[in-house]
């Protein structure tokens, strides 16, 4: 039978990801600082422990899915962190979207304890996490990739090796910068079309058969009533939080600054999402930029 897998961070993404490991027959040992997050997994038979160190004491393969860099630093190197109890030869996979330099630091710290750390951030959102169709962008030692793939294939349909540790994060940060720019572009375009008297469903249909088509227009349309089963159909609840998008755009800005790379639209998108966080949109899905623009236009 399959040996147990540790899972730390059971939020919007971690919860359905861990469920898919269970579905594939892996016994899961999990923890989260928010006890409510652990309930569903516990009901499915997962064992819930108190701290990341406790998980590392029991499992030699661990996946982490946490909000941002400080949480990852805490979970790996904190007083009750994974590295306090990690077994030699353990495989540690971090699927959070964080600063690539933090991924490199965690890899160095893990190596000192005889363990292997890989970054494997994901694209696809809660829907893809639930259906096991995430895209994983993996960075780390190439000889460990096959071992990582075995677990990641249970949760994703695309598992792509990117290069040394941190390169998975680089790919993810680039994707999300383009996603943010595309979402804002889609929202302002849809709003303009509506103001010009077009039916939003018809406009979306035309965009999706024309050169303006993108993921934000055809899969995750931000205008309420255009699509079902997306956050815009549900008062922008669930999905990918505006706070998390602002965080990812901040990571893109840091890496662009470090490499002296001009990213003018990424920079503007960062400021728009930061402003939204300051104006009450922090807890909503990032497609709520459509609602934000509507409020701004004084109608």
Catalytic positions are: 172
Closest CB to ligand NAD among residues 4, 97: 97
The residue among 105, 108, 95, 110 whose CA lies nearest residue 168 is 95
The DSSP 8-state label assigned to residue 233 in this structure reads: G
Query: Residue 18: is it exposed, middle or buried by C-beta count within 10 angstroms (0-12/13-18/19+)?
Result: buried
Among 122, 180, 214, 289, binds ligand NAD (CB under 6 A): 122
User: Stretches 12-20, 41-49, 55-63, 163-171: which one binds ligand NAD (CB under 6 A)?
Assistant: 12-20
In the complex, least distance from residue 298 CB atom to ligand NAD, rounded to whole angstroms:
31
If one asks whether residue 243 binds ligand NAD (CB under 6 A), the answer comes out as no
The 33-62 contact track toward ligand NAD, x by CB under 6 A, reads xx--x-------------------------
User: Stretches 123-131, 137-145, 185-193, 256-264: which one binds ligand NAD (CB under 6 A)?
Assistant: 123-131
The residue among 289, 279, 268 whose CA lies nearest residue 189 is 289
Report 146-205 residues binding ligand NAD (CB under 6 A).
none
Angle at 248 (CA atoms; ends 245, 249), nearest 5 degrees: 90
Q: How many CB atoms lie within 10 A of CB 288?
A: 25
Strands 28-31 and 47-48: parallel
Among 18, 75, 246, 269, binds ligand NAD (CB under 6 A): 75
Strands 134-139 and 156-163: parallel
Residue ranges that bind ligand NAD, judged by CB under 6 A:
8-14, 31-34, 37, 65-68, 71, 74-75, 96-97, 122-123, 125-126, 239-240, 244, 248
């Amino acid at each position: 039978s399959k040996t147990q897998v540790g899972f730390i961070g059971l939020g919007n993404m971690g919860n359905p990801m861990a469920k898919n490991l269970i579905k594939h027959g892996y016994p899961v040992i999990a923890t989260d600082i928010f006890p409510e997050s652990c309930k569903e997994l516990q009901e499915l038979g997962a064992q819930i422990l108190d701290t990341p160190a406790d998980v590392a004491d029991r499992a030699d393969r661990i996946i982490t899915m946490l909000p941002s860099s400080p949480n990852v630093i805490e979970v790996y190197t904190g007083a009750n962190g994974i590295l306090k109890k990690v077994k030699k030869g353990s495989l540690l996979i971090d699927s959070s979207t964080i600063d690539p330099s933090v991924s490199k630091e965690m890899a160095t710290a893990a190596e000192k304890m005889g363990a292997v750390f890989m970054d494997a951030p994901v694209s696809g959102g809660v829907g893809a996490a639930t259906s096991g169709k995430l895209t994983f962008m993996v960075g780390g030692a190439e000889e460990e990739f096959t071992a990582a793939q075995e677990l990641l294939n249970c949760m994703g349909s695309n598992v792509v090796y990117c290069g040394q540790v941190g390169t998975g994060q680089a790919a993810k940060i680039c994707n999300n910068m383009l996603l943010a720019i595309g979402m804002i572009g889609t929202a302002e375009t849809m709003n303009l079309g509506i103001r010009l008297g077009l039916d939003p469903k018809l406009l979306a249909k035309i965009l999706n058969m024309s050169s303006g088509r993108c993921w934000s227009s055809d899969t995750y349309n931000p205008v309420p009533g255009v699509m079902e089963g997306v956050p815009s159909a549900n008062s922008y609840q669930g999905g990918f939080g505006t706070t998390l998008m602002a965080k990812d755009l901040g990571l893109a800005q840091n890496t662009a600054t470090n490499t002296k790379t001009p990213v003018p639209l990424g920079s503007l998108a960062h400021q728009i999402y930061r402003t939204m966080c300051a104006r009450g949109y922090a807890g909503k899905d990032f497609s709520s930029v459509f609602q934000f623009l509507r409020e701004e236009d004084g109608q």
